[in-house]
C-alpha cells in the first residue's frame, strides 16, 4: 500500500479542516493507554481528542495523563445482549449530542458498538481497529458469530486499521472486510516505540536492575526469562508452564518473571496455574506500568501465544535490546524477525518451545546478537512520530468531500 503524504503537504492540495474532533472508543479504559504516544502529536495538529470507555478508575487516570476529556459508558467484555443494547443506545445518544467528526472504535465489543452507534448517529468519519481477533482460536457456531459481528462492524466503518500486515492479510482472506478499507501504519504496531526515550536500555542501569531483582528475590547473577501480558490459556501459558518444568531443572540459575495477571475468563488448568504460583523461582508482578524496568532485568522475552495483533511486548523488548521467543502466528511474524531479532516456534508445541528456551539460555552470544538486531530495527522502522503522522493523514482523508 502506498504511503500517505505528509499531513502538511495534504493541506496545500485538499480542502480539509486543520481542527476536528476525534472520539476514541474502547471497551475498557486500560486499552486507551496504547494511544498515549499519538495523542500529543494529534493535539499539536489541532485534533480535539475525547475518550469513551467503561467508567473505571483507569478512565480518569487516562484523562489526567493524556489531558483529554472522557465519557464513561458501561460496556461488557463478554456477550451480554441486554447490556450491549443499553451501551449501544448510550453511545448513540452521546454521539448525537457531541457530534464528533470522527469516531475511532477499538477492541471487539467497542469496535462493534462504537462503529454501529456512530453510523446510526451520522458521524462523518468512522474508523475501526482490528488488533487481534478472538475467533482465530474458535471453531463452530462461536467463530461464525464472531465473524458475523466483525463483518457488521467493518461494513459500517470507512477505514479499518490492522496493526500488522499479516493481520490485514487474514482479515481480507477471511472476507471480513473489503481490501480497499483495510490499512496498516508503516511496518505495523499501534503507535511504534519510543526506543530513544522510554524504552532506551541506557536509562535502566545496574543500580536500578539490582533494585528490581531484589524486589522479587531474584539473585543478581540469575538468568531471567520474562513474559508480559495476561496469564491465560490463549497466551500459551499452559505450554510455558509445562516447558518451564523442564527448563528449571536443567538450568538451576534461571528464574521466570511474569508481568501480568491471571484472568478467570480464560483460565489455565489448575495444575498449570498452581505450578506457576507455587514455584519460588517464578515471580508474579501483577499489572505494572513500569514495564521497561522489568524488561531491563530480563535476558529474553517469551510469548507462546495462540493469537496476537502485532505483539506490543515484542517491540518493547526489542527496543530494550532483548531477544524475543514467540509463536509463528499472524502478528508475531511481523513483530519478530525469525533468526534475526528472535525465534518463532509453532504454537502449542511444547517441545519446540522448550528447545528454543534451552538454546537461548545456553548461548549468551545469541541473546546479544538477536537483542542488538531487534533494537536497531525498533529505532529504524517504528518511530512513533512517523506512525502518528500517517494516522493523522488517514483521519483527514475522511473529512474531504470525496471520502469513500
Confidence of residue 206 (pLDDT cuts 50, 70, 90): very high
SS3 324: strand
Over residues 7-15, mean pLDDT: 38
Residue 199 C-alpha cell reads as 524504552
Per DSSP, what are the bridge partners of residue 231? 262
pLDDT of residue 21: 97
pLDDT of residue 403: 55
pLDDT of residue 237: 96
Kindly give the pairing relationship between strand 182-183 and strand 125-130: unpaired
> Over 60: is that where the pLDDT of 376 sits?
yes
Confidence of residue 3 (pLDDT cuts 50, 70, 90): very low
**Cα–Cα distance measured from residue 182 to residue 170, given in angstroms and rounded to the nearest whole number:** 11
Confidence of residue 12 (pLDDT cuts 50, 70, 90): very low
pLDDT tens-digit readout, 158-202: 999 999 999 999 999 999 999 999 999 999 999 999 999 999 999
pLDDT of residue 135: 80
Contact 25, 126 (CB under 8 A): no
Confidence of residue 332 (pLDDT cuts 50, 70, 90): very high
pLDDT of residue 13: 37
> Over 90: is that where the pLDDT of 138 sits?
no
> Over 60: is that where the pLDDT of 63 sits?
yes
- The b-or-e profile of 157-176 (16+ CB within 10 A means b, else e) is bbbbbbbbbbbbebbbeeeb
Out of 89-103, 125-139, 355-369, least confident range: 125-139
Confidence of residue 139 (pLDDT cuts 50, 70, 90): confident
Confidence of residue 282 (pLDDT cuts 50, 70, 90): very high
Percent of the chain's residues with pLDDT above 90: 85
Burial bucket for residue 404 (CB in 10 Å: 0-12, 13-18, 19+)? exposed
Residue 198 C-alpha cell reads as 522510554
For 63-133, strand residue ranges (E) read 69-72, 102-105, 125-130
Out of 54-58, 118-122, 306-310, least confident range: 306-310
**Cα–Cα distance measured from residue 237 to residue 259, given in angstroms and rounded to the nearest whole number:** 12
What domains does the chain contain, in order, with CATH numbers?
Answer: 7-192+383-397 (3.40.50.2000), 201-381 (3.40.50.2000)
SS3 215: helix
**Cα–Cα distance measured from residue 353 to residue 346, given in angstroms and rounded to the nearest whole number:** 8
Burial bucket for residue 370 (CB in 10 Å: 0-12, 13-18, 19+)? buried
Q: Which helix (H) or strand (E) holds 392?
A: helix 384-397
Mean pLDDT, the chain, as a whole number?
92
> Over 50: is that where the pLDDT of 73 sits?
yes
pLDDT of residue 17: 54
Burial bucket for residue 124 (CB in 10 Å: 0-12, 13-18, 19+)? middle
**Cα–Cα distance measured from residue 357 to residue 71, given in angstroms and rounded to the nearest whole number:** 45
pLDDT tens-digit readout, 227-276: 999 999 999 999 999 999 999 999 999 999 999 999 888 899 999 999 99
Taking alpha carbons only, the member of 310, 312, 305, 314 closest to residue 331 is: 310
Q: 240: left (phi > 0), else alpha (psi -120 to 50), else beta?
A: alpha
What are the phi and psi torsion angles at 229 (to 5°)?
A: 150, -170
**Cα–Cα distance measured from residue 169 to residue 326, given in angstroms and rounded to the nearest whole number:** 20
pLDDT tens-digit readout, 104-117: 999 889 999 999 99
**Percent composition of the chain: helix, strand, coil (DSSP 3-state, to 5):** 50, 15, 35
Taking alpha carbons only, the member of 38, 40, 106, 100 closest to residue 67 is: 40
Taking alpha carbons only, the member of 396, 404, 401, 402 closest to residue 101 is: 396
Confidence of residue 68 (pLDDT cuts 50, 70, 90): very high
Confidence of residue 36 (pLDDT cuts 50, 70, 90): confident
Q: What is the CA angle 139-261-57, rounded to 5?
A: 105
Amino acid at each position: 500500500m502506498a504511503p500517505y503524504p505528509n499531513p502538511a503537504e495534504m493541506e496545500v492540495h485538499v480542502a480539509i479542516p486543520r481542527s476536528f474532533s476525534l472520539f476514541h472508543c474502547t471497551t475498557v479504559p486500560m486499552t486507551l493507554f496504547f494511544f498515549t504516544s499519538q495523542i500529543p502529536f494529534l493535539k499539536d495538529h489541532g485534533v480535539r481528542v475525547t475518550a469513551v470507555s467503561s467508567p473505571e478508575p483507569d478512565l480518569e487516570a487516562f484523562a489526567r495523563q493524556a489531558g483529554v476529556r472522557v465519557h464513561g459508558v458501561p460496556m461488557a467484555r463478554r456477550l451480554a445482549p441486554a447490556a450491549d443494547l443499553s451501551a449501544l443506545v448510550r453511545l448513540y445518544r452521546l454521539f448525537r449530542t457531541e457530534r464528533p467528526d470522527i469516531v475511532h472504535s477499538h477492541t471487539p465489543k467497542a469496535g462493534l458498538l462504537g462503529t454501529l452507534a456512530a453510523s446510526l448517529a451520522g458521524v462523518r468519519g468512522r474508523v475501526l481497529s482490528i488488533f487481534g481477533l478472538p475467533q482465530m482460536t474458535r471453531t463452530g457456531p462461536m467463530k461464525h458469530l464472531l465473524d458475523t459481528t466483525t463483518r457488521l462492524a467493518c461494513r459500517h466503518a470507512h477505514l479499518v486499521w490492522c496493526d500488522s500486515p499479516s493481520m490485514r492479510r487474514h482479515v481480507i482472506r477471511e472476507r471480513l472486510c473489503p481490501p480497499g478499507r483495510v490499512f496498516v501504519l508503516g511496518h505495523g504496531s499501534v503507535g511504534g516505540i519510543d526506543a530513544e526515550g522510554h524504552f532506551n536500555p541506557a536509562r535502566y542501569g545496574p543500580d536500578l536492575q539490582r533494585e528490581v531483582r531484589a524486589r522479587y528475590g531474584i539473585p543478581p547473577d540469575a538468568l531471567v526469562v520474562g513474559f508480559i501480558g495476561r496469564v491465560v490459556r490463549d497466551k500459551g501459558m499452559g505450554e510455558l508452564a509445562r516447558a518451564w518444568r523442564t527448563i528449571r531443572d536443567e538450568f538451576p540459575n534461571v528464574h521466570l518473571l511474569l508481568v501480568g495477571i491471571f484472568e478467570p475468563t480464560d483460565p489455565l488448568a489448575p495444575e498449570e496455574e498452581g505450578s506457576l504460583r507455587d514455584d519460588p523461582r517464578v515471580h508474579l508482578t501483577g499489572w505494572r506500568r513500569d514495564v521497561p524496568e522489568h524488561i531491563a532485568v530480563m535476558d529474553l522475552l517469551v510469548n507462546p501465544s495462540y493469537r496476537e495483533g502485532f505483539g506490543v511486548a515484542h517491540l518493547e523488548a526489542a527496543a530494550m535490546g532483548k531477544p524475543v521467543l514467540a509463536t509463528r502466528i499472524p502478528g508475531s511474524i511481523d513483530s519478530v524477525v525469525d533468526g534475526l531479532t528472535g525465534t518463532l516456534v509453532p504454537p502449542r508445541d511444547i517441545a519446540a518451545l522448550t528447545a528454543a528456551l534451552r538454546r537461548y539460555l545456553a548461548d549468551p552470544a545469541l541473546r546479544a546478537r538477536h537483542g542488538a538486531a531487534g533494537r536497531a530495527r525498533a529505532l529504524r522502522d517504528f518511530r512513533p512520530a512517523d506512525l502518528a503522522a500517517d494516522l493523522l493523514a488517514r483521519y483527514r482523508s475522511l473529512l474531504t468531500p470525496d471520502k469513500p
